[in-house]
Amino acid sequence: MNKALFLDRDGTLIYDKVYLSDPGQVEVIPGASSALSRAQSMGYLLFLFTNQSGVGRNYFAMDDVHKVNKRMFELLDLPESTPAMRLAVRLDDLSSEGRIAWRVGRLRAADRLRAWLAHLALAALAPAGVPPRTRLVTRTHTLLFGAPDRPLEHLTMLAGLYVRGGSEPLPFFPETALAFVASLSKGEEAAWRAADRKWADERDNDAYLTLAFADAQPLDDRFAGYARGILLPMLAAETADA
């Protein structure tokens, strides 16, 4: 059985600074680098997690988070992507035009996410003769995904969230999150109103959500950060097929 360390970023590896977005302000906590090296020498896998509420509040973007992380890895003398897990991906329905995915039914947020994950894998693997293009066909919509920016980074982030979700309920709800980010162009207040309306339906129709968040109000800055970080790259790569 593999041994693993799950590490928060701010206050554990680097000094906690309010809404850190400037790589030049990254300061490693003394002893962090040697401790990580010793852990790796003992066979531990390293998993990094960081909750950046500044993304949810629109103080800075995910690109700024990546730049800060990159600087931290440099100061810790770690590769930017330390191997911590192996992703096994099977991609079917490939052709010289890309990949096709379908669902016999209406388009749901979960369908878009599932197609997006496979599309990121397609773009990261770049099989010969297959362009990084996915067509998602449902009864109500047809969507196209074009070449995404930094597909491997997005896959790594999503895999980390998957692992973290095995130990705690994460405030990410596909339909509610999609309603939130899709309404951001109308302003923050409109986005929160849309999320509130969709959350009631999504929670009441999912026994797991009702159980996990029965006594909580999960639509907070963490929710907004996850919604932006997970869905905005997907929407940026997505277009409707007439």
On whether the pTM is more than 0.85, the answer is no
Structure confidence at residue 242 (pLDDT): 52
Burial class (CB in 10 A: 0-12, 13-18, 19+), 199: buried
Q: How confident is the model at residue 83 (pLDDT cuts 50, 70, 90)?
A: very low
Residue 64, in any domain of the structure: yes
Kind and range of the H or E element at 156?
helix 151-165
- For 50, residues 6+ apart whose C-beta sits below 8 A from its C-beta are 8, 9, 10, 65, 69
CATH number, domain of 22, equals 3.40.50.1000
Question: Residue 81: pLDDT above 60?
Answer: no
Residue 187, in any domain of the structure: no
Residue 194, in any domain of the structure: no
Residue 58, in any domain of the structure: yes
pLDDT tens, 199-232?
989 998 989 888 888 778 899 998 999 999 999 9
Structure confidence at residue 107 (pLDDT): 92
Question: Residue 56: pLDDT above 60?
Answer: yes
Structure confidence at residue 1 (pLDDT): 47
pLDDT tens, 22-53?
999 999 999 999 999 888 888 887 777 677 77
Phi–psi pair at 15, nearest 5 degrees: -65, 140
Residue 61, in any domain of the structure: yes
Residue 124, in any domain of the structure: no
Q: How confident is the model at residue 92 (pLDDT cuts 50, 70, 90)?
A: confident
Q: How confident is the model at residue 7 (pLDDT cuts 50, 70, 90)?
A: confident
Residue 45, in any domain of the structure: yes
Domain containing 7: what range? Answer: 3-75
Number of domains in the chain: 1
Which pair of structure tokens corresponds to residue 209? 């959500």
Structure confidence at residue 82 (pLDDT): 46
Following DSSP, what letter does each residue of 89-139 receive, concatenated?
----SEETTEEEEE-SS---HHHHHHHHHHHHHHHHH--TT--S-EEEE-S
